[in-house]
Chain A
Amino acid sequence: AQRVTQPEKLLSVFKGAPVELKCNYSYSGSPELFWYVQYSRQRLQLLLRHISRESIKGFTADLNKGETSFHLKKPFAQEEDSAMYYCALKNQAGTALIFGKGTTLSVSS
């Protein structure tokens, strides 16, 4: 079965603290994973994808096939990082994304 699990509904941190948003997946073969972000009153937008191995807005995510995880990390959270974050997995056919339930990140000063 193809599935994405985000175990935390809400993560609250203080500005400057490290952030780790957890994502675990279930997939046969080589997964293609993404993090999408939705800021308040904005549309869902791609944050990063694992194949790019990039850092966007200070966020990184490493695919760990042994632990079937793709956790999103940032060493120092900023207030503007407050948003809803969704982990997503491309389905076997490559035609759609399977999303987790999302984690709300709240960064306060």
Chain B
Amino acid sequence: DTGVSQDPRHKITKRGQNVTFRCDPISEHNRLYWYRQTLGQGPEFLTYFQNEAQLEKSRLLSDRFSAERPKGSFSTLEIQRTEQGDSAMYLCASSLPGGQRNTIYFGEGSWLTVV
């Protein structure tokens, strides 16, 4: 499968611990996105990279969240001092540069449960 891959697929952590998710986008996709999805809701935008530059961050991305894409390829999303409200599916997506014909492709997501 050459689609967007995410790891781990599931993570259970205790409140207060740090967690990190990894995303490998489709090769040659220079745009990378992180979304969060909670039960009964659609995906909500968190942040967006073009190559290694983080160009946009949502207000949902609190100070405890940090995302990086150091070499413009894979990306990590770290959540520090997790809270129960962080329990959600974290989706990564990628696309080619902007333009009306460029599709955003999603990964299968990383489920986070904070207990």
Contacts and interface: CB of A to CB of B under 8 A. Distances in A.
Contacts of A57: none
Contacts of A43: 3-4, 106-109
B112 to A, nearest CB: 17
A7 B81 CA distance: 36
B41 interface: yes
B94 to A, nearest CB: 12
What class of interface size applies to chain A in its complex with B? 20 to 34
A101 interface: yes
A101 B43 CA distance: 8
B56 A95 contact: yes
A29 interface: no
Contacts of B4: 43
Contact of B98 (A46, A49, A94): A94
A45 B45 contact: no
B100 A44 contact: no
Given A95-B48, A95-B56, A97-B104, A86 B3 contact: no
A88 B104 CA distance: 11
A78 B45 CA distance: 32
A86 B42 contact: yes
Interface in A49-100: 49, 51, 86, 88, 91, 93-100
A96 B36 CA distance: 13
Contact of B91 (A4, A44, A98): A44
Interface string B1-12: 001100000000
A96 B33 contact: yes
Contacts of A100: 42
Interface in A1-39: 4, 6, 9, 32, 36
